[in-house]
Chains A and B, each alone.
Chain A
Amino acid sequence: MNRSPYITNAPTVSIIMLKVLLALIPGIFAYVWIYGGGILVTLSLATLTALVSEAALLKLRQRPIRPYLSDLSAVVTAWLLALALPPLAPWWLVVVGTLFAIVIAKQLYGGLGYNPFNPAMVGYAALLISFPIIMTKWPAPLLLAQTKLGFMDQLQFIFSNSLPANVKIDAVTSATPLDYLKTQLMLKHEVHGITQAPIFGHWGAKGGELVTAAYLLGGLYLLQQRIISWHLPTAFLGALAAMSLAFYTLDPAHFANPLFHLMSGASMLCAFFIITDPISGPTTPRGKLYFAAGVGILTYLIRVYGGYPDGVAFAVLLMNMCVPLIDAHTQPRVFGHIKN
């Protein structure tokens, strides 16, 4: 039998996923620094839930457990979901979201390689629709909070939803800048005045923009390692910037500047870690550009006109639906197929 080639030189799926996890580390560090160690609990909880549920489902589906668990794809999903959740999300929210992502969005569709939708975003969207209040209640960055919660306090809050005796919930939470901007604009305030609020930093959210910058750093590492292609982040950030620039230029009083949009919410996480999920994304170079630009445009529209402060999850899911169509219509020209 002809079984050539005999040699290969490719990073395994595990290595690729490991590098994605590595690229998230700077973001996690920044996160801990800004919001406290509670995120580590959330991450661990999500990882554990993901691995256990993946193993259980693999067993139910009579698939080998070890190779599929060691590919680390479940861990990547867990981390991305955990990082997208509010930092002090209650434990059950993390568990429910991860279960939804792994069981429904991934394994029930056939496991690794077969899920048409980004599992982390499916989990996130399910939680956002089911528990909108909890999902939009973010803790204030430590440097802004009137009362700083220690790690043990955060742990207690995550698992029992109780705060130290003298602390009120309003003292530790605040709206995110995207949320705040949206509500204030509805109250007929103007952007310039709104962004004078203490929650705004140089470009995006005070503190939050640091986390965003750390994601960007991790993303550049993935680009350098050729784990992701330049098409996706470039087109996504380009489209988001172009949309916000157009609106901002027309009416700076009611639309935030492009830099704010790039550095707020889940923009960078989305650009380098979420839309770069190969399984639920397109494969052709041109398709990647269209897909990512679509996510960028939809993200902006949902942020500005939609019912939710950030639009990344829905934008990604909507564009996931278009992937087969995009792939079919962006086939590159095959060598020797010369058009006249």
Chain B
Amino acid sequence: MNSIIQFASKLIRGQAAGTDAVHKFHGGVHPDGQKQQSTSAPIRKLAIPEKLILPLRQHVGYIPKIKVQVGERVLKGQMLAEAEGTLSAAIHAPTSGTVTAIGEEIIPHPSGLPDMCITLAPDGLDEWTALHPVDWRNTDKKTLVANLRSSGIVGLGGATFPTHIKVRADGRTGIHTLVINAAECEPYITCDDMLMRERADEIVKGMEIVKFLLGAENCIVGIEDNKPEATSAMTEACKALPGTSVKVVPTLYPSGDARRLIHLVLGMEIPHDKRSTDVGVQVFNVATVLAIYRYFAYGEPAVDRIVTITGSVNSPQNFEVLFGTPLQALIDAADGTKPGTTHFIMGGPMMGFDLPTIDVPITKAANCIIAATPDLFAPPPPAMPCIRCARCADACPVNLQPQELYWFSKSDNFEKARDYNLFDCIECGCCTYVCPSNIPLVQYYRYAKSEIIAADKAKEAADLARERNEFRLARIEREKMERAQKHAERAAAGKAESAKTADAVKSDGVKAEATKTEEAQAAPAKPATETPVAATNADDAKKAAIAAAIERAKALKAASQSGESQKKPATADTADNSTPAQAAPSQATEQAEAGQTKVDQASAEQAKKDKQALIAAAIERAKAQKLAAAQAGIAPKNVENTSPFVKAEISEIDAIREKARQAVKAQDSDPEA
């Protein structure tokens, strides 16, 4: 017993004291590396192929805007498509040539669906466009980041998150540590390994730039201990950059997952609902860092990457491949496939996917292509029932309970699946890897996630429709009340003034008030005691309406002080043609119309004064509305011709949509290397 306690305390002390200690994460698996095949030969540059197919969607985010036309000659490095929106990346011509087509082609995506691509016929000259290296040390960070936006560089570890977003120097978060992801934990893939062996100096120069951009003091390179050559090359190169260290982490899949790597090298656990940047850490892949260096030092945008071609090919190795190169060219360069090759996998065997066809181009995400045979990747035997052995739970690097998630996903009990943190699953495949019953667990989680997301979207749409309907019903009800009230008032007034002639001052045609017919009724015997009815909908719209009403009332009061007639404005929205209330004209509107036809009996001078006051009030109101709209965050779009109620509705819906957009964005864009 004593020895156990001693052993335990030694363990704890060892972790706390040693600065070089690696903080292991829960679970993980040890798949056979299969890396030696593709590391025997140095990186080779692949010749320019006959055509290049450049999908617009090679990154996470919005597709870029095409800047070229079919038939146009482009130079190497020329921007073909420009980043559009914040989360987007540009596409550049990987070599000089002619744009031969812009249209749909099959892209390397699990869906196998075609997507928009620019096809380029290289002219073989490989002529660069004018390049603009940047003296980054003496340039404003904002400018650098803006430059990076047009570099086309995305996370080359496979996540393809636009890089410029990760270095945004807005001073919002203080990044203290830059972690370089060189773990490369997936079997077969060796592109980062080879890159570090051969270009460690350039990588470190890139690290210097990223460190500068982020304002990070420390930089840690995390490398798995199955890459001794890369480790020594990086250790040597890192001597040139103070505050940098190389940390060797044990070979344990998925150590290359950003959150796992941060835990390994720093002992920090990133909260599940936060990003690493929230706690001052940013992760970059080695290849990305190198691309950044080349962009600033030579002005070269992202036009190529290192790709591992391995598996059932005759010469497995790494190539420097231009984006858009057809897969066939890469296979030919690797001396073709061995007999028995059935298909190709993009990525590693743990998280990769089957390429739908051989006719796909190499994209920014393509770190590895594996020629697959049934021998290498045997089709799984039929799944047996789960025996609850919990090996999956032991292997889960997130410490989830995969057997429970499987149970809930299988029975479509999605709420429970969510409760058991389904969305923390990183789909690393460790659970499937260790399952004795051969259950394709990850597929169940992918299914459950997509179902939940789809249901959430449907619910959001339904909520929106329901809210709109509620608005509509409330408005109909309110208008009915208003009409009834007006009718009653009018009847009372009519009785009291049967002898007198009613004055009706009508004003219309005010520029900013085109939306509304303002009815000003003269009620000399009865001073206006009521404030105008305000919109009761969205807060901002309500505020706007109230402010406008007060302004209006003030103006009217001022105007009426000189004259004997007091004006009582009423907000009857007659412009909203979509409401059923309008379709069925009521007594009140009929009366209003009748009022319009009445001869204005007030003196011309008085009428003019009234009109001026009303114009002033209308202008005030428009201003107030505009202000409220600005506060609500909606641009004054094409809503001028609608009533305040519709405006309120629109602003409310916009707010909801914006919220939903934010939520979706937050989920989609996890900027991890």
Pairwise interchain contact B384-A13, C-beta atoms closer than 8 A: yes
B interface majority secondary structure: loop
Given the known inter-chain contacts A2-B110, A7-B187, please indicate yes or no for A331 contacting B436, CB distance below 8 A.
no
Task: Say which one of B269-277, B471-479, B663-671 lies at the interface with A.
Answer: B269-277
A281 to B390 Cα, complex, angstroms: 10
Residue B536 at the chain A interface, CB threshold 8 Å? no
A12 to B372 Cα, complex, angstroms: 23
In the complex, which residues of chain A have a beta carbon less than 8 angstroms from the beta carbon of B389?
16, 278
Residue in contact with B345 in the complex, picked from A6, A16, A71, CB distance below 8 Å: A6
A112 to B26 Cα, complex, angstroms: 29
Which B416-469 residues sit within 8 Å CB-CB of chain A? 420-421, 424, 429, 432-438, 440, 442-443, 446
Q: 10 additional contacts, CB 8 Å, given A278-B387, A336-B271? A: A2-B110, A7-B187, A7-B349, A10-B436, A112-B385, A284-B390, A335-B25, A336-B398, A337-B271, A337-B272
Given the known inter-chain contacts A67-B382, A331-B420, please indicate yes or no for A4 contacting B350, CB distance below 8 A.
yes
**Distance from B407 Cβ to chain A, minimum over Cβ atoms (Å):** 10
In the complex, which residues of chain B have a beta carbon less than 8 angstroms from the beta carbon of A130?
none
A-B contact pairs, 7 of them (CB 8 A): A4-B442, A5-B429, A6-B372, A9-B31, A11-B436, A331-B401, A336-B398
In the complex, which residues of chain A have a beta carbon less than 8 angstroms from the beta carbon of B429?
4-5
Residue A44 at the chain B interface, CB threshold 8 Å? no
Residue A3 at the chain B interface, CB threshold 8 Å? yes
**Distance from B312 Cβ to chain A, minimum over Cβ atoms (Å):** 13
- Of B26, B259, B386, B403, chain A has the most CB atoms within 10 Å of the CB of B386
Residue B18 at the chain A interface, CB threshold 8 Å? no
Pairwise interchain contact B387-A334, C-beta atoms closer than 8 A: no
Residue in contact with A6 in the complex, picked from B110, B259, B349, B434, CB distance below 8 Å: B349
The chain B residue sitting closest to A5, CB to CB, is: B429
Pairwise interchain contact A13-B349, C-beta atoms closer than 8 A: no
Task: Say which one of B35-43, B214-222, B351-359 lies at the interface with A.
Answer: B351-359
Pairwise interchain contact A7-B388, C-beta atoms closer than 8 A: no
How many pairs, one residue from A and one from B, have CB atoms within 8 Å of each other in the complex? 142
Pairwise interchain contact B397-A335, C-beta atoms closer than 8 A: yes
A67 to B420 Cα, complex, angstroms: 31
In the complex, which residues of chain B have a beta carbon less than 8 angstroms from the beta carbon of A12?
381, 384, 436-438
- Of A7, A16, A229, A334, chain B has the most CB atoms within 10 Å of the CB of A7
The chain B residue sitting closest to A280, CB to CB, is: B388
Pairwise interchain contact B446-A334, C-beta atoms closer than 8 A: no
Residue B393 at the chain A interface, CB threshold 8 Å? yes
The 6 tightest CB contacts between A and B, nearest first, are A113-B385, A336-B272, A5-B429, A6-B377, A283-B390, A2-B110
A237-251: contact bitstring with B at CB < 8 Å (1 yes, 0 no)? 000000000000000
Given the known inter-chain contacts A114-B385, A334-B272, A336-B269, please indicate yes or no for A4 contacting B353, CB distance below 8 A.
yes
In the complex, which residues of chain A have a beta carbon less than 8 angstroms from the beta carbon of B432?
5, 8
In the complex, which residues of chain B have a beta carbon less than 8 angstroms from the beta carbon of A67?
382, 384
Q: Which residues of B are at the interface with A, using a C-beta cutoff of 8 A?
A: 25-26, 29, 31-32, 110, 187, 259, 263, 269-273, 345, 347, 349-354, 372, 377, 380-382, 384-391, 393-394, 397-401, 403-404, 420-421, 424, 429, 432-438, 440, 442-443, 446
Pairwise interchain contact B401-A8, C-beta atoms closer than 8 A: no
Residue A97 at the chain B interface, CB threshold 8 Å? no
Residue A332 at the chain B interface, CB threshold 8 Å? yes
Which A89-117 residues sit within 8 Å CB-CB of chain B? 111-114
Given the known inter-chain contacts A7-B349, A12-B436, A13-B436, please indicate yes or no for A113 contacting B29, CB distance below 8 A.
no
| Range for the number of chain A residues in contact with chain B | 35 or more
Residue A187 at the chain B interface, CB threshold 8 Å? no
**Distance from B435 Cβ to chain A, minimum over Cβ atoms (Å):** 6
In the complex, which residues of chain A have a beta carbon less than 8 angstroms from the beta carbon of B433?
5, 7-10
A2 to B111 Cα, complex, angstroms: 8
The chain A residue sitting closest to B29, CB to CB, is: A9
Given the known inter-chain contacts A7-B433, A331-B420, A335-B259, please indicate yes or no for A113 contacting B351, CB distance below 8 A.
no
In the complex, which residues of chain B have a beta carbon less than 8 angstroms from the beta carbon of A7?
31-32, 187, 349-350, 377, 433
Pairwise interchain contact A113-B349, C-beta atoms closer than 8 A: no
Pairwise interchain contact A283-B349, C-beta atoms closer than 8 A: no
Pairwise interchain contact B399-A334, C-beta atoms closer than 8 A: yes
In the complex, which residues of chain B have a beta carbon less than 8 angstroms from the beta carbon of A332?
393, 399, 401
**Distance from A275 Cβ to chain B, minimum over Cβ atoms (Å):** 13
A250 to B269 Cα, complex, angstroms: 48
The chain B residue sitting closest to A323, CB to CB, is: B388
Residue in contact with B387 in the complex, picked from A3, A15, A279, A338, CB distance below 8 Å: A279
A interface majority secondary structure: loop
Given the known inter-chain contacts A7-B187, A112-B384, please indicate yes or no for A336 contacting B259, CB distance below 8 A.
yes
Residue A1 at the chain B interface, CB threshold 8 Å? yes
**Distance from B444 Cβ to chain A, minimum over Cβ atoms (Å):** 12
The chain A residue sitting closest to B437, CB to CB, is: A13
Pairwise interchain contact B349-A3, C-beta atoms closer than 8 A: no
In the complex, which residues of chain B have a beta carbon less than 8 angstroms from the beta carbon of A13?
384, 387, 436-437
A1 to B446 Cα, complex, angstroms: 11
Pairwise interchain contact B352-A8, C-beta atoms closer than 8 A: no
Pairwise interchain contact B350-A5, C-beta atoms closer than 8 A: yes
**Distance from A147 Cβ to chain B, minimum over Cβ atoms (Å):** 45
Residue in contact with A1 in the complex, picked from B269, B354, B381, B436, CB distance below 8 Å: B354
**Distance from A170 Cβ to chain B, minimum over Cβ atoms (Å):** 45
A10 to B350 Cα, complex, angstroms: 14
Residue in contact with B434 in the complex, picked from A1, A2, A8, A279, CB distance below 8 Å: A8
Residue in contact with A4 in the complex, picked from B29, B352, B388, B421, CB distance below 8 Å: B352
In the complex, which residues of chain A have a beta carbon less than 8 angstroms from the beta carbon of B394?
229
In the complex, which residues of chain B have a beta carbon less than 8 angstroms from the beta carbon of A229?
390, 394
Pairwise interchain contact B390-A1, C-beta atoms closer than 8 A: no
In the complex, which residues of chain B have a beta carbon less than 8 angstroms from the beta carbon of A2?
110, 353-354, 443, 446
A226 to B372 Cα, complex, angstroms: 32
In the complex, which residues of chain A have a beta carbon less than 8 angstroms from the beta carbon of B187?
7
A211 to B420 Cα, complex, angstroms: 43
A15 to B434 Cα, complex, angstroms: 13
Residue A333 at the chain B interface, CB threshold 8 Å? yes
Pairwise interchain contact A337-B443, C-beta atoms closer than 8 A: no
Given the known inter-chain contacts A5-B351, A5-B442, please indicate yes or no for A113 contacting B399, CB distance below 8 A.
no
Residue A327 at the chain B interface, CB threshold 8 Å? yes
**Distance from B379 Cβ to chain A, minimum over Cβ atoms (Å):** 9
**Distance from B381 Cβ to chain A, minimum over Cβ atoms (Å):** 8
Given the known inter-chain contacts A2-B446, A283-B393, A335-B398, please indicate yes or no for A10 contacting B388, CB distance below 8 A.
no
Given the known inter-chain contacts A5-B350, A10-B434, please indicate yes or no for A333 contacting B384, CB distance below 8 A.
no
In the complex, which residues of chain B have a beta carbon less than 8 angstroms from the beta carbon of A327?
404
The chain B residue sitting closest to A276, CB to CB, is: B389
Pairwise interchain contact A335-B352, C-beta atoms closer than 8 A: no
Residue in contact with A16 in the complex, picked from B380, B386, B388, B436, CB distance below 8 Å: B436
In the complex, which residues of chain A have a beta carbon less than 8 angstroms from the beta carbon of B372?
6
**Distance from B85 Cβ to chain A, minimum over Cβ atoms (Å):** 27
In the complex, which residues of chain B have a beta carbon less than 8 angstroms from the beta carbon of A114?
385
A327 to B408 Cα, complex, angstroms: 14
**Distance from B443 Cβ to chain A, minimum over Cβ atoms (Å):** 7
Residue in contact with B269 in the complex, picked from A279, A284, A335, CB distance below 8 Å: A335
Pairwise interchain contact B388-A337, C-beta atoms closer than 8 A: no
A278 to B437 Cα, complex, angstroms: 13
Pairwise interchain contact A3-B443, C-beta atoms closer than 8 A: yes
In the complex, which residues of chain B have a beta carbon less than 8 angstroms from the beta carbon of A281?
388
In the complex, which residues of chain B have a beta carbon less than 8 angstroms from the beta carbon of A338?
269, 271
